[in-house]
A and B are shown apart, each in its own frame.
Chain A
Amino acid sequence: MQTHYSDLLVIGAGLSGERIAVEAAQAGFGVTVLSIVPARRSHSSAAQGGMQAALGNCAMGKDDCPDVHFLDTVKGSDWGADQEVARMFVDTAPIEMRRLAYWGVPWNRVVPGKSFYFKGGEKFEKVEPEDRAGLITARSFGGTAKWRTCYTSDGTGHAVMCTMDNRCAQLGIDVRDRCEAIALIHDGQTCFGAIVRSLRSGELSAYLARATAVCTGGFGRIYKATTNAVICDGAGHIIALDTGAVPVGNPEAIQFHPTGIVPTDILVTEGCRGDGGTLLDVNQDRFMQIYEPEKAELASRDVVSRRMTEHMRKGLGVKSAYGDHLWLDIRHLGDKHISTKLREVDEICKYFLGIDARTQLIPVRPTQHYTMSGIRTDKDGAAYGLTGLFSAGEAACWDMHGFNRLGGNSLAETVVAGGIIGAKIAEFLGGHEVKFDTTLVRQAGAQAEERIKAIVSGTNGHEDVYKVRGALQEALMDGCFVFRNGPDLEKCIDTLHEVYERSGRVGLRSNGLGANPELAVALKIRGMVKLGLCIAYGALARTESRGSHTREDYPERNDRDWLTRTLAYWPDGAEKPVLKYEPSSPVYELPPGDRGYGGGKIIPADPASLTLIKKEVKG
């Protein structure tokens, strides 16, 4: 087994991973970045809408400031966010957008003068100020008080990813694709790096480092309907959870997106609704304004997803061979808007549905979209449980999103958190020395080899890995989707335990040689089911509704008992996760209150139990 050494090992070359790498390399440290796919193909590149930052340049973002962004973020999180982290994030975001402009991102800019926009299907006029000409502009996105989402046409993630990867190339950072981390090397106290499988040759190597950062993105692929890329299957969470020492925060906090196309679940951006697209039912009537008179289509996405499901349950969905769906209508936005500002959407309709969005309706339904849940870290990005292990981006629960992240806040998080945590890692590296125990490294390698041998030779059984994965995905769609309730969750847990047992008996049907794809899934399947069980147990225990976690049998948000974050551990050899809890936030700059949308009753917290901090919050 070959061994590589660097100061910092970053697992994941999406925006968060590369941003960390850049920060550490600029501070003079040797960095290796690993990725399953070439860096630019990371899922960050699929984000179309944009990044939130309170620059306040455009007319509709006038008087915006980090304080207003803070209010939106904490309200959006349904008070599940760590408010210290949310504060750091909103304050840093505008600077980070400017830094990205300096590095080369072609942000859309303010064009002074009159222009039109649509809201709820109606046309409005706005006048962009002369003195802001050429500054970074913004568009509207669900759940925000101001237009705050910086964008580059319909390919923000792609454009920022290109710039970040260019920056890595410029700094000479060693970015290696087709390298998949399959285990962390650790002694229960400290993390020393990872065991990595080459997706070219199938060979294993040890990547040793004084610090390791897991930036592997979300894990939507454990659901059947998801907007996520096929590589978003939780590999990073799995290797962290497998240590037994590191918890997954709020596993039950999973976001669903209102507009995945039917049948492939490819996302059409929230920008569609932000720009004035509307949702229609089987009678081609708008309905969101019935449920949400003020925000209508622009309410936060858990609210929109829930209302859509509710409306379809009333029998007002459109029947199709793939189940019920609703319509998204952007016809009135016109050719120019659709072919420039919403070009990717236009292409998706053409290439994947064979329809023209200028004249036809787009079939959509809610689908899994984002994992607020992730490797729990402190505000410096240091993972709970192991020294030298860090995490950032969608893989992490840092936790600025709580139980619902706002559109545009996660792409912004990747770069903002990456910058902040990268600097903290550089600081850590300055004072952290480790002794690498070669026995430990060899053991970790041998263990991985044993596992592979057993799977390839079918020592434990001959379960078909794709069938086991299918069973996991179905179970979660049934029990842990937009709506949840006690009996269904209990049933889901029973099913998942069966699937878990099967996952231990997986054996290959192919020969396992080289970059064998069946083996790649087989190595993860047990961990994927573990993640599913963490979601189900977390959701069953949380007897309240908060953000995207909606319990039909507990419709109220219960701040008295549940202003907490779930920490799910999986101790070595355990059959199910161990759940612990911590307060949602160490301090409350914004005390728990009403979000102003979504409705629902709140059981208030005992004020004496909250540490409030006084701050003049404008807006």
Chain B
Amino acid sequence: MARLLKLNVFRYNPQDPKSVPHLQTYVLDETDNMTMFIALNRVREEQDPGLQFDFCCRAGICGSCAMVINGRPSLACHTKTKDLPDEITLLPLPVFKLIGDLSVDTGVWFRAMYDKVESWIHTRKEFDPKALEERMDNAVAEQIYELERCIECGCCVAACGTARLRDDFMGAAALNRVARFVVDPRDTRTDKEYFEIIGNDTGIFGCMGLLACEDVCPKDLPLQNQLGYLRRKMGITALKSLFSRK
């Protein structure tokens, strides 16, 4: 017998003066291999055509569809209903600005982050179209890629106690981004320059190290390692600059 799923979905459209925040319940029959992508689209097409939520790749690659599913920030498209109880509560991610219902504004948040951490390779070299590429050890390339895998879904930020308390906290995604450039030999920034970006309470020293971030990251990024690595590195940089000032 197929289960009947009860979906309690947060509804609020800030653009509609009559709208008030509330939970709305939809009942849906479960089908084989159902994901939240299939479930929510069926709700929209069959029951509530105005329901707002975000999907793009529906394959766990693009990071569009993060929401809080039964209390846990997750990607809706790779959440299988068979892993959930009959009653499912869906809320939009906290921290990010609400657009409507389950849809939040991660785009603006992450673009601001790129500027904050200067999310690009800093180099004085010019590109020479006639020259061979600079060589790189494959292991280094893979190490960079490992950190580049962040899909900017926002789960780690939504789960982070510090980010919820202070909206200027960078969050694990931004700190991981810095780590990505630290391991990249093409980026010539020094520890001191990185320190200026993250060596304070809005950055690495604001992190309480409770690791809710790593726990929810759908890409299993090694956030714990990276945060620890940056904390040590920035700690040493802080000490060094203390002594060199004398």
Residues of A within 8 A of B (CB): 37-38, 40-43, 45-46, 95, 97-99, 101-104, 106-111, 133-137, 152-153, 155, 158-159, 162, 165-167, 169-170, 175, 177-178, 199-202, 229-231, 263-264, 266-267, 321, 340, 344, 347-348, 351-354, 464-466, 508-518
Contacts and interface: CB of A to CB of B under 8 A. Distances in A.
7 contacts: A38-B107, A41-B63, A165-B114, A166-B121, A200-B105, A202-B15, A514-B15
- Is the contact region of chain B dominated by helix, strand, or loop, or is it mixed? loop
B146 to A, nearest CB: 9
Interface string B145-180: 100110110000000000000000000000000000
B120 A41 contact: no
B50 A510 contact: yes
B142 A153 contact: yes
B158 to A, nearest CB: 16
B148 A178 contact: no
Interface in B129-150: 129, 131-138, 141-142, 144-145, 148-149
A41 B50 CA distance: 23
A170 B37 CA distance: 34
Contact of A347 (B60, B103, B107): B60
B112 to A, nearest CB: 10
Given A99-B127, A104-B186, A511-B16, A152 B133 contact: no
Interface string B82-116: 00000000000000000110010111101100110
B50 A351 contact: no
Contact of B15 (A111, A134, A515): A515
B8 interface: no
Contacts of B136: 101, 106-107, 109, 134
Contacts of A38: 106-107, 110-111, 152
Residue from A38, A169, A340 having most chain B Cβ neighbours under 10 A: A38
Nearest to B37: A264
A611 B118 CA distance: 51
Contacts of A159: 145, 148
Given A104-B186, A159-B148, A231-B56, A201 B35 contact: no
B141 A98 contact: no
Contacts of B54: 37
B127 to A, nearest CB: 5
B145 A106 contact: yes
Given A514-B16, A514-B100, 16 more contacts: A37-B62, A43-B57, A102-B186, A104-B121, A106-B184, A109-B141, A169-B111, A177-B107, A178-B105, A231-B56, A266-B59, A352-B35, A352-B59, A466-B45, A511-B16, A515-B103
For A152, A263, A351, which residue has the most chain B Cβ atoms within 10 angstroms?
A351
Contacts of A108: 138, 141-142
B80 to A, nearest CB: 7
A98 B131 CA distance: 9
A40 B58 contact: no
A512 B100 CA distance: 13
A613 B67 CA distance: 58
B141 A169 contact: no
B interface residue count range (under 10 / 10 to 19 / 20 to 34 / 35 or more): 35 or more
Contact of B119 (A110, A169, A344, A509): A169
Contact of B138 (A110, A344, A466, A515): A110
What 9 A-B pairs have minimum CB-CB distances, sorted nearest first? A514-B15, A510-B50, A134-B135, A38-B107, A177-B107, A106-B144, A351-B78, A41-B62, A169-B114
B21 interface: no
A516 B56 contact: no
Contacts of A152: 141, 145, 148
A264 B35 contact: yes
Interface string B13-38: 11110000000000000001101011
B61 interface: yes
A267 B60 CA distance: 12
Contacts of B115: 169
Interface of B: 13-16, 32-33, 35, 37-38, 44-45, 48-52, 54-64, 78, 80, 99-100, 103, 105-108, 110-111, 114-115, 118-121, 123, 125, 127, 129, 131-138, 141-142, 144-145, 148-149, 151-152, 184, 186-187
Given A45-B57, A108-B142, A201-B15, A167 B49 contact: no
Given A136-B133, A351-B60, A515-B52, A37 B14 contact: no
Given A99-B129, A352-B35, A466 B49 contact: yes
Nearest to B53: A517
B13 A514 contact: yes
Nearest to A40: B152
A73 B110 CA distance: 38
A353 B61 contact: no
Given A106-B144, A106-B148, A133-B135, A513 B51 contact: no
A152 B131 CA distance: 21
Nearest to A92: B129
Nearest to B122: A170
A88 B108 CA distance: 37
B107 A37 contact: yes
Contacts of B51: 517
B133 A101 contact: yes
A184 B129 CA distance: 36
Nearest to B75: A351
Contacts of A45: 57, 61-62, 151
Nearest to A343: B149
B82 to A, nearest CB: 8
B6 to A, nearest CB: 22
A134 B119 CA distance: 24
Nearest to A227: B59
Contacts of B56: 37, 41, 43, 229-231
B132 A98 contact: yes
A321 B14 CA distance: 42
A605 to B, nearest CB: 37
A508 B49 CA distance: 8
Contacts of B110: 38, 40
Contacts of A464: 49
B138 A134 contact: yes
A348 B61 CA distance: 10
A264 B60 CA distance: 12
Nearest to A41: B62
